[in-house]
């Protein structure tokens, strides 16, 4: 009886793990330069690396100031040879706080977006 219970419990645990689809499957940012909430010199580019490969046509970075006005007229692009990273070249930024808005679509078609702040001294 004890053995049966153990077998049943093992089966239920195995099935509950096997039954969970990968619903958490999104490309989350793993490395951001400049880092969120950081203060430092003006960066020459903004670069974000995600946890998995992203679709370049549907993934982008935009930079705005605190008033929501665009601080960079250029477009972001995928980094050649690195399908997980997109970057945005930026002009010399005056001192102030900026917001990085990012959107990505992972290769399985899932979309994720977010934003973070950094400050230029």
Partner 1 sequence: MPTLFPVMRICAAAFTDVAYVSAAGALLNRLWIGRLSTGDKKLRACLRTASVALLLLLPVQFFLLSASMVGDTSWTDAWQAMPDVASTHSGRALLISWCLLPCLLLLSFLFSSLSRIKGTMLGIGLVVCFLAFRSFNGHAASDGDFTLREAMQFLHLCSIATWSGGVIIAGLITAPCLASANHFDDLALFGRRLSQTITVALAIVIATGIYNSWEGQGGSLVPLPHTPWGRMLLLKLSFVLLALGHGARVRFLLKAPLPWTDRQATIMRRWLRTEAMLMIAVIVCSAWLANLPPGEM
Q: At 84, which helix (H) or strand (E)?
A: strand 82-89
Q: Smallest distance, Å, CB 113 to partner 1?
A: 8
In this complex, which beta carbon is closest to partner 1, that of residue 24 or of residue 92?
24
- Listed in sequence order, the residues at least 6 apart from 74 whose beta carbon sits closer than 8 Å to its beta carbon are 88, 89, 90, 91
Q: Which is nearer to partner 1, 38 or 55 (CB)?
A: 55
Chain residues that interact with partner 1, rule: CB under 8 A: 11-12, 14-27, 51-53, 55, 57-58, 103, 105-111, 113
Q: Measured from the CB of residue 79, what is the shortest distance to partner 1 in angstroms?
A: 16
Instruction: List CB contacts of 50: < 8 A, sequence separation 6 or more.
Output: 27, 28, 29, 30, 84, 85, 86, 104, 106
Least distance between partner 1 and beta carbon 24 (Å): 5
Name beta bridge partners: 40: 120
């Amino acid at each position: 009886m004890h053995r049966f219970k153990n077998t049943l419990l093992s089966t239920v645990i195995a099935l509950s793990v096997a039954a969970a689809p990968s619903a958490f499957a999104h490309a989350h940012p793993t490395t951001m330069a400049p880092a969120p909430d950081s203060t430092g010199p003006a960066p020459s580019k903004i670069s974000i690396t995600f946890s998995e490969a992203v679709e370049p046509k549907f993934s982008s970075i935009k930079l705005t100031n605190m008033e929501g006005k665009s601080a960079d007229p250029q477009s972001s692009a995928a980094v050649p040879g690195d399908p997980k990273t997109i970057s945005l070249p930026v002009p010399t930024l005056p001192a102030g706080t900026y917001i990085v808005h990012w959107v990505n679509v992972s290769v399985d078609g899932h979309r994720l977006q977010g934003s973070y702040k950094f400050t230029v001294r």
